[in-house]
Amino acid sequence: MTIDAKFPAPKLPQIRRSADSDFFNRWARLFPSLFIIGFFMLAPILVVGTYSFLEADPYGGVRPNYSSAAYAQLVFEENLDGSWGFNPSYVKILWRSILIAGISTALCLIVGFPVAYYMARQPVDKRNFLVLLITIPFWTNLLIRTYCWILILRDTGLVNNSLISAGILDAPFKMLYTNGAILLGLVYTFVPFMILPIYASVERLDLRLLEAGHDLYATRWQVMREIILPLAKPGIIAGSILVFIPCIGAFIAPDLLGGSKKLMIGSLIQLQFSSSRNWPFGAAVTLVLLAFVLIVLMIYAMKSSGKKDLEAA
C-alpha cells in the first residue's frame, strides 16, 4: 500500500549514510546492467559507428579508407549529369516511419489503457491470470500470427467472405495491403508493451484515494484526470517508449500486411546491410536515428528528474 505525493505521508527521519557509500552502492548496483550493455552492445555499436565514416566494401563490410559519402548520401544524390542535388527520398522514409510509429503508439495507448486499468482493478489472483492471458498469444511466432491476419483481412478472407455471404457487401472491401492493415498489425504486435507497464503503475492505486477523489471531484472522469492519469503517467511513458521505438524499425507488419510498396526505415537499414551492401550508409542512417531517439529520451530523463527536484523543494 502506498500513498500518492499529493497526500504526503508524515516526513520520516532520513537515514544518514555517507556520500561515499551512496556512491559505491549506486554504481555497484548499476554495474551489471551497464557492464552487460556497455561491453556487449556499446562497444560493438561504436565499431559500427566508425563504419559510417569508411568506404563500403562491394562484398559487404567496409574498407579502411575515410569517406563521408554515407552522410552525403542521406540528403544529396548525384544527378545523371554528375552534379549533386537534394534527395528527399531518405528524409521521406524516415518521416513516414516516425509517423506510422507515432500513430501506432497512440492507438496502443487508446486500446491498452482501459484494459490495463480494468486488469489492475481485479482481485489479485484474477489480475495475474489476466497478465498471463495477454502473454499466451506471444508464445507463437510473430510471422505466423501475422499470417493469420492475412487470412482474416484479404479479399477472399474471413471478414470479406462472411460479409459477402451475409449480403452486406457485393464486392470485397480492400483491407489487406493498406496503411490500416499495417497499423492493425503493429498494434497487435506491440500493445502488450503498452498494457503491462501501465498495469504495473496503476496497480498500486489506493482505493481510499479514489474515495477521497470522488468526494472532492464528483465525476468519474475528473477522478480519472486528476488521480488515475497522474499515477499512470510513468507507465504510459514507459509503454510509449517500448512501443514507439521498436515500431520505427518494425518490418514484418509493413511487409506482410502493407505489401511493402513503401520503404520503412527498418527495411532501408536492413537492405543496406544485405543486398545493397552499403554498410557505411546503413551505419550512418542508424546513427542519425539513434541520435534522434537518444536526444528525445535524454530530454525526457532530465525533465522528469528536474521536476522531482522542484516538487521536493
Strand partners, 62: 56
Under rule CB under 8 A, residue 22 binds another protein: yes
Distance of CA 275 to the CA centre of its chain: 27
Under rule CB under 8 A, residue 150 binds another protein: yes
Distance of CA 58 to the CA centre of its chain: 34
Provide the minimum distance between the beta carbon of 84 and another protein in the complex, in angstroms, as a whole number.
14
Q: Which is nearer to another protein, 104 or 286 (CB)?
A: 286
Under rule CB under 8 A, residue 99 binds another protein: no
* Residue from the set 37, 173, 225, 229 that interacts with another protein by CB under 8 A: 37
Binding residues with another protein: total (CB under 8 A): 150
Under rule CB under 8 A, residue 59 binds another protein: yes
- Which residues in the 111-130 window bind another protein by CB under 8 A? 111, 114-115, 117-119, 121, 124-125, 127-129
CA end-to-end distance (rounded Å), the chain: 25
- Which residues in the 75-94 window bind another protein by CB under 8 A? 77, 80, 89-90, 92-93
Under rule CB under 8 A, residue 33 binds another protein: yes
Question: Position of cell 548525384?
Answer: 78
Under rule CB under 8 A, residue 148 binds another protein: yes
- Which residues in the 151-180 window bind another protein by CB under 8 A? 151-152, 154-156, 158, 176-177
Quick note: the x/- pattern for another protein over 202-221, rule CB under 8 A, is -xxx-x--xx--xx--xxx-
* Residue from the set 74, 106, 200, 288 that interacts with another protein by CB under 8 A: 200
Per-residue cell: 161: 467472405
Q: Which is nearer to another protein, 136 or 166 (CB)?
A: 136
* Residue from the set 71, 161, 164, 277 that interacts with another protein by CB under 8 A: 277
Under rule CB under 8 A, residue 181 binds another protein: no
